[in-house]
Amino acid sequence: MKEYRILTGGMGAGVSNWELAKAVGQSGQIGVVSGTAIDVIVARRLQIGDKDGNMRRALSHFPVKSIAERIINEYYIEGGKAEEASFKNLPMYTLTPPKELVELTVAANFVEVFLAKEGHDNPIGLNLLEKVALPNPASIYGAMLAGVDYVVMGAGIPREIPGVIDAFSKGEDASIRIYVEGAEKDEEYRMHFSPKDIMGEFLTELPRPKFYAIVSSNILATTMVKKTKPAVDGLVVEHNTAGGHNAPTRGGLNLGESGEPTYGEKDEVDLEKIKALGVPFWLAGSWGEAAKLKEAIAAGAQGIQVGTLFAMCKESGFVDSIKKAILEKLPDVFTDPKASPTGFPFKVVNLEDTLAMIEEYLKRHRICNLGYLRHLYKKEDGTIGYRCPAEPAKAYIMKGGDEEELEGRKCLCNALIANIGLPAVYKSGYVEQKLITAGDTLKKVCDYLKDGSEHLYVAYVIEQLLGEINPSKA
């Protein structure tokens, strides 16, 4: 059996896109697509004209033709929308989303995985966030329809996901528990998904992908392996130097002089204990170097997860201007304890003309129109409400939110989609600005530039990473 040594980081939204995952697969490793906000992303790709036709071509392979045709009719604009025109709004996810939104989510995940798998025989994974829970069942099912080989999930404790995957492989309904602030201990709220409701007469059994949980502690790793039924198939052990969301510091939030969370010995993972769990594992967070890959294998790991390096590659979803600016300036990375509405620390690249700059942050009027990171809460009348500390302050406080939670919060939903060239445009003329995330190894990315090249390319990066364990090909 082939040994894969490199697993793509699941960078959302749309940075780990199908083109990046496909390039990694074509280079003999495991490509991973991000499923975060992929419904909005595919809808917007269609609205800007789908110039290469890949969205429509992939949709033509979706097993329920009526769903694919409806999506194309609803969102595709020949020649693309005018630059100053707004994108069509999608409804935000709730516990009872419109069927059309669920269908779009299923189809969009199908599209991304279908395209990523073309042109090679290596596995493709789907990355999701436990913190963005409501679309996850539909996302997983859509990816499974396209033959996804791995589902990778972090930013929480995804103990129910292996059971969901089992059910979907048999064509059965499944649900996941949803956390609701203010709910009583005996109250349970669930997000339900029925494959038959989507597929109808086309419902079939599907190949079961493997499930890998992203963990940052030995306790969580043990829980996912020994207390999850069915057990996880593997782990991604992520260090706090990784990009995107980091795990909170153990023992409470302690900020250093720089204002960043201070991680200590309690936040380190004992790899011997991970190895003793007996499942394959990958090391993530500052492991994207040839020597570190060799070290990871020596520690018993299957390989390493690579994010930041791939994010700066020509094939990733980041707009070219971001990659160019970062490769030229190699800006600092700040672990911001407040930026993310989730409450998790979030790595922010201090790049000019992005929301990392206070002047850009203050220009933006708060709006919540995508809603992936909204918190569910129980209202006084017993119904469920939705709020986000990055939404307009007045609305958040009226919904019972704590005013102190508003400080420094940034709308990651809109900013991350702006990063891939699909920013919302408003009637006021304001265009959503970017907010870049990357790991602490950002300053080393230029080491992987091929002589004379202005761009990083996936194939060359992988060749360099494998050099220590496969020197004859380096």
Instruction: Delineate the domains of the chain, giving CATH numbers in brackets.
Output: 6-318+447-473 (3.20.20.70)
- Give the pLDDT mean for 452-466: 90
Task: Say whether pLDDT at 452 is over 80.
Answer: no
Task: Say whether pLDDT at 1 is over 80.
Answer: no
Provide the angle, in degrees to the nearest 10, between the axes of the packed helices 136-145 and 99-117. Answer: 40
Q: What pLDDT is attached to residue 11?
A: 85
Amino acid at 375: H
Structure confidence at residue 403 as a pLDDT band (50, 70, 90): very high
Q: What pLDDT is attached to residue 57?
A: 97
What are the backbone dihedrals phi and psi of residue 288, each rounded to the nearest 5 degrees, phi first? -80, 60
Cβ–Cβ < 8 Å for 16, 37? no
Q: What pLDDT is attached to residue 451?
A: 81
- Listed range (156-160, 164-168, 385-389) with the worst mean pLDDT: 156-160
Q: How many residues does the chain have?
A: 474
Structure confidence at residue 277 as a pLDDT band (50, 70, 90): very high
Task: Say whether pLDDT at 474 is over 60.
Answer: no
Bond from prior residue into 261 cis (ω within 30 degrees of 0) = no
Q: What pLDDT is attached to residue 470?
A: 66
- Listed range (48-57, 78-87, 287-296, 368-377) with the worst mean pLDDT: 287-296
Q: What pLDDT is attached to residue 185?
A: 87
Structure confidence at residue 473 as a pLDDT band (50, 70, 90): very low
pLDDT digits (tens, 9 = 90+) for 423-434: 999 998 899 999
- Give the pLDDT mean for 323-340: 90
Task: Say whether pLDDT at 445 is over 50.
Answer: yes
Average pLDDT over the chain, rounded to whole? Answer: 92
Which are the contacts of 62, defined by CB distance < 8 A and separation ≥ 6? 68, 107, 110, 111, 145
Task: Say whether pLDDT at 155 is over 80.
Answer: no
Cβ–Cβ < 8 Å for 443, 326? no
Q: What is the DSSP string of 385-440?
A: EEE-TTS-HHHHHHTT--GGGGTT---HHHHHHHTTT---B-TTS-BPPP-----G
Percent of the chain at pLDDT exceeding 90: 69
- Give the pLDDT mean for 211-229: 88
Cβ–Cβ < 8 Å for 466, 293? yes
Task: Say whether pLDDT at 201 is over 90.
Answer: yes
Task: Say whether pLDDT at 174 is over 80.
Answer: yes
User: Distance (Å, rounded) from C-alpha 387 to C-alpha 392?
Assistant: 10
Structure confidence at residue 14 as a pLDDT band (50, 70, 90): very high
Task: Say whether pLDDT at 169 is over 50.
Answer: yes
- Listed range (98-102, 249-253, 289-293) with the worst mean pLDDT: 249-253
Other CB atoms within a 10 A radius of the CB of residue 230 amount to 11
Task: Say whether pLDDT at 472 is over 50.
Answer: no
Q: What is the DSSP string of 294-342?
A: HHHHHTT-SEEEE-HHHHTBTTSSS-HHHHHHHHHH---EEEESSSSTT
pLDDT digits (tens, 9 = 90+) for 48-57: 999 999 999 9
Residues 445, 449, 453, CA angle at the centre, nearest 5°?
Answer: 140
User: Distance (Å, rounded) from C-alpha 381 to C-alpha 395?
Assistant: 18
Provide the token pair at 23: 């390039």
Q: What pLDDT is attached to residue 259?
A: 84
Provide the token pair at 378: 């129980």
Amino acid at 404: E
Cβ–Cβ < 8 Å for 337, 255? yes
Q: Considering all CA atoms of the chain, what is the largest pairwise distance in Å, rounded to the nearest integer?
A: 68
